[in-house]
Amino acid sequence: MALVTLGCARNDVDSEELAGRLTAEGWDVGTSEDEGADGAGPDVVVVNTCTFVEQAKKDSVDAVLAAGGGDAKVVAVGCMAERYGAELAEAMPEAAAVLGFDHYGDLPARLDDVLAGRPLASHTPTDRRALLPISPVKRPEAVRDTSIPGHAWVPTVPRRRLDDAPVAPLKLASGCDRRCTFCAIPSFRGAFVSRDPGDVVAEAAWLADHGVAEVLLVSENSTSYGKDIDARGAAGGALERLLGELAAVPGMRRVRVSYLQPAEVRPPLLRAIAETPRVASYYDLSFQHASATVLRRMRRFGSRETFLALCREIRALDPEAGIRSNVIVGFPGETEEELAELEAFLAEAELDAVGVFGYSDEDGTEALGLPGKVDAGEIAARVERITSLAEHVAEDRAARRVGTSVEVLVERWEDDEDAWIGRAAHQGPDVDGECRLAGDEDVLDALAPGVVVTGRVIDAEGIDLVVEALGVVGADGSVGAAPVGAGAR
């Protein structure tokens, strides 16, 4: 069978957990490019869909249609399947089944049904906000498999790597308790539920055992971590303590946190990210806008002034810290003055990367009924305008890194560039630029995926950097000779 994944890093984790469950039940799981030993294609394709924005929905539909172009039976899972269920099944007869999150635990049996031609009722969506309040069920503790040398931690939810990249997402929590007027995620992901910290650390150790050097902590809102498992709430320091424990996992070279809510960020968390060894000095802050009036209509908090103060606080701790964000333009009622406020913020904040999205109506959200809808053509023009500014600011920020020192986690050899490619601490996976390594051949020949090198930035190409590699950084922080097994391209 083949497993196709769309959307965010949270979906990547879900797919690897599904792959783990299926493998444990004897399924041969691959990606859409995999073929059987006899050259035949997969007998079933599971498409893990996304429904974040309108384009993501179109991409998910296209993926289901493409998967159904051969003899394989297609099963849709993921956010779009959970959100629309039977409605999606009716619109897409190409899918043999549309299954929701509650089917994940018994997916192997459901796929058996699909292959046997047994009829399956499509998932019926439920507004998971109606399930509040939810108390997290204590999960069984992760165990150590003593039959495997080394750490050999086995997560409570089986997981199977679907690639050999030295970077992997690690789920911190699920769901969201916020009620942003533009967002439908709580309706199908449900309430915010933190994972047990011991389970998170055990899975990180399992990932390290499987060649992962950097974990990206993912959730809908990482700053809420621990509020449901600690009587002191998120302010009790649960995330700060967890970061220290993850950074101490043997073999782990870097820990990165994603999706921080600016209104919930507190000084102890800022210091923990900036000062904890092996934690990337990287702040993925969900600003969404900078006009106080637009933010209120979004049911969010903050303003240009408070967000700039937060950026100054971060750079006082570490001037070279990476700060990225996403913003929405064309929100209902957005005026020229409000858009100018966002422009002024982006110019002053000097962020390292900004994702710019045009507003689109989402079923079941409060913003769907707000007055003052902006014309689609005008939204597109505003996206282009803000994107141009954001790219200029990010490129300028990258250019000012020339001459600075960085540590780069090597990720892959790129034949087209005849160079090793990696990322510095301020660069998140996939979206924030990369580093191309140059320099002494003796150092470059010592590299391999997962190796950390210290270097000096010698050029900037857009938001990408060219880094002169100066030496390999050992697990103890020393700089010197190549690690055992290095040099594989």
Predicted confidence (pLDDT) per residue in 60-116, tens digit: 888 888 887 678 899 999 999 988 888 888 888 888 999 988 888 889 999 999 998
pLDDT digits (tens, 9 = 90+) for 152-181: 455 556 789 999 999 999 999 988 989 999
- Other Cβ atoms within 10 Å of 97 Cβ, number: 23
H or E stretch at 461: strand 452-461
Residue pair 464/434 in contact by the 8 Å Cβ criterion: yes
Q: How far apart are CA 453 and CA 468, in angstroms?
A: 10
Q: What burial class does residue 121 get, using C-beta atoms within 10 Å of its C-beta: 0-12 exposed, 13-18 middle, 19+ buried?
A: exposed
The closest of 199, 198, 207 to 151, measured between CA atoms, is: 207
Decide if pLDDT at 418 tops 90: yes
Selected residue with higher pLDDT from 54 and 403? 403
Can you tell me the mean pLDDT for 348-373?
95
Amino acid at 117: G
**130 pLDDT above the threshold of 90:** no
Task: Confirm if 341 and 304 have CB atoms less than 8 A apart.
Answer: yes
Predicted confidence (pLDDT) at residue 269 exceeds the cutoff of 70: yes
Residue 468: the pLDDT is 97
Tokens describing residue 81:
């399947």
Any idea which residue has 């406020």 for tokens? Answer: 341
Half-sphere exposure in the Cβ direction for 49 (13 Å, CA): 33
Query: What is the predicted pLDDT for the residue at 128?
Result: 66
Rg (CA), the chain: 23
Percentage helix, strand, coil for the chain under 3-state DSSP, each rounded to 5:
35, 20, 45
CA atoms within 13 A on the CB side of 26: 3
- The structure tokens listed for 193 are 């539920």
> Is the bond preceding residue 449 a cis peptide, omega within 30 degrees?
no
The pLDDT > 90 percentage for the chain reads 64
Longest dimension (CA), the chain: 65
State the pLDDT at residue 229. Answer: 81
CB atoms within 10 A of CB 15: 24
**Mean pLDDT (whole number) for 237-246:** 95
- pLDDT, residue 448, reads 96
Residue 127 above 90 pLDDT? no
The pLDDT score that the predictor gives to residue 384 is 98
pLDDT in the model for residue 411: 97
| 305-347 per-position pLDDT tens digit | 999 999 999 999 999 999 999 999 999 999 999 999 999 999 9
Q: How far is CA 296 from CA 56, 64, 302, 347, in A?
A: 26, 38, 8, 22
Is 410:489 a contact under the CB 8 Å cutoff?
A: no
3-state SS assignment for residue 344: helix
Which domains are assigned to the chain?
2-126 (3.40.50.12160), 139-399 (3.80.30.20), 405-480 (2.40.50.140)
Query: Confidence band (pLDDT; 50, 70, 90) for 461?
Result: very high
Query: Over the chain, what is the mean pLDDT?
Result: 88
Strand partners, 471: 454
In this model, does residue 134 exceed pLDDT 60? Answer: no
How far is Cα 473 from Cα 480, in angstroms, rounded to an integer?
Answer: 7
Alpha helix stretches (DSSP H) within 178-265: 185-189, 197-209, 238-247
Enumerate residues 6+ apart whose C-beta is below 8 A from 347: 389, 393
| pLDDT number for residue 422 | 98
Residues 43 and 2 sit within 8 Å (Cβ to Cβ): no
Average pLDDT over residues 289-300: 98
